[in-house]
Amino acid sequence: MKRRALGVSGIEVSALGLGCWGMSGSYGPADESEAEATLRHALDIGVNLIDTADSYGDNGHNESLVGRALAGRRDAYVLATKTGWVKREGPDGKAAVGVDGRPDRIRSACEASLARLRVDVIDLYYLHRVDPDVPVEESIGGMAELVASGKVRFLGLSEVSEATLRRAHAVHPITALQSEYSLWTREPETTVMPACEELGIAFVPFSPLGRGFFTGAVTGRERIAPNDWRANNPRFSADNLARNIALLQPLEEVARAHGKTTAQVALAWVLSRGVRVIPIPGMKRRTHLDENVVAVELDLNSEELARLDTAFAPGAAAGERYTPEVARWAGR
């Protein structure tokens, strides 16, 4: 497995990481046994960047799963987790999402994550979203205290603006920035990616396969279960999904030319964006993992890259990437 530098941390990680959100039921039913086997298989084949969060699943389910699956193999992986998302009861009595970036809450959340993950230190600790009621300097200051106390090694941010990234970096070095980025989500190219390059920060794309869209698995609304996160996502509405599927022909043709899958080509395109780019596709099955790692060795030529750039120009995708409820927390 090829390696890439995790910012200027001195750590090298697999060029492709493993995103664990889907292992806790976000994209249809979860299979804990297969998820645990997938985590262990990842280490066996050299995929060593494991990405989770305290908000994935109920009551820290995903962190507990990761901790259980990888017990006894701590030296074999680089562990990234996140804090900041919280689930509260809304005015209608239903669960609602929010953010909490208070330093005291971050410290207590870190202790809980360490216990669930069964580790003494978190390699990369992200602020999952910026709290609009707490200056990012205060949140990062609290996280920096965790570094000083030896509970965290490096800090990251997720889904922030360039201005916020720079403010945070001035308080404590930011090692990685995680943002949605793929053929159909290209906004970071003109916002945060240049700043990451300038500051020596790793750029970690999540959903590099368009939440499964570029795998070819979602060919219609009937392929999305009612409890699947995508069921309410604008890009997967019936009208928008039909328009987005119509964009796929160039990707399919490039894939056929190489004898590869559309997922492998879509990941190869993301990997081509720079040596500091480390995508973390969500993978909850060993078969998906084995398929996706092939992308690390797939080199697309300049003509193919240009063709994909044109076919999936910024703004080409139909539909917003989040519902308004979730979108308000992104890009602060």
Domain CATH code at residue 14: 3.20.20.100
Instruction: Note the pLDDT tens digit of each residue in 9-18.
Output: 999 999 999 9
Q: Please check whether residue 233 lies inside any domain of the structure.
A: yes
Is residue 86 classed as helix, strand or coil in its secondary structure?
strand
Question: Alpha-carbon distance 7 to 152, whole Å?
Answer: 16
pLDDT class of 95 with cuts at 50, 70, 90:
low
Which of 27, 56, 126, 181 is labelled catalytic? 56
Number of other residues whose CB lies within 10 A of the CB of residue 181: 23
Dump pLDDT digits (tens) for 42-87.
999 999 999 999 999 889 999 999 999 999 999 999 999 999 999 7
Res 58: pLDDT: 87
Alpha helices in 118-208 (DSSP H): 136-148, 162-171, 192-199
Residue 328 reports pLDDT greater than 80: no
Cut 0.85: pTM above it: yes
Place of tokens 């480390």: 278
Which amino acid appears at position 258 of this protein?
Answer: H
**Would you call 56 a catalytic residue per the annotation?**
yes
Residue 156: which of 109, 203, 111 has the closest Cα?
Answer: 203
Stretch 149-167: mean pLDDT: 97
Cα 150 → chain centroid: 25
Domain presence at residue 253: yes
Q: Can you give the pLDDT at residue 248?
A: 95
Residue in this structure with the two tokens 């090298």, named with its chain if needed = 12
Helix (H, G, I), strand (E, B) or coil at 75: helix
Instruction: Say if 260 falls within a structural domain.
Output: yes
pLDDT of the residue at 118: 98
Supply the Cα-derived Rg of the chain in whole angstroms: 19
> What is the b/e burial string over 83-112, where b = at least 16 CB atoms within 10 angstroms of the residue's CB?
bbbbeeeeeeeeeeeebbbebebbbebbee
Q: Write down the pLDDT at residue 93.
A: 64
Residue 332 located in a structural domain: no
Query: What is the tally of structural domains in the chain?
Result: 1
Rounded Cα gap, residues 187 and 183, in angstroms:
10
Q: Is residue 129 part of a domain?
A: yes
Residue 177 belongs to a domain: yes
Any domain includes 128 = yes
- Domain residues for the domain of 95 are 3-327
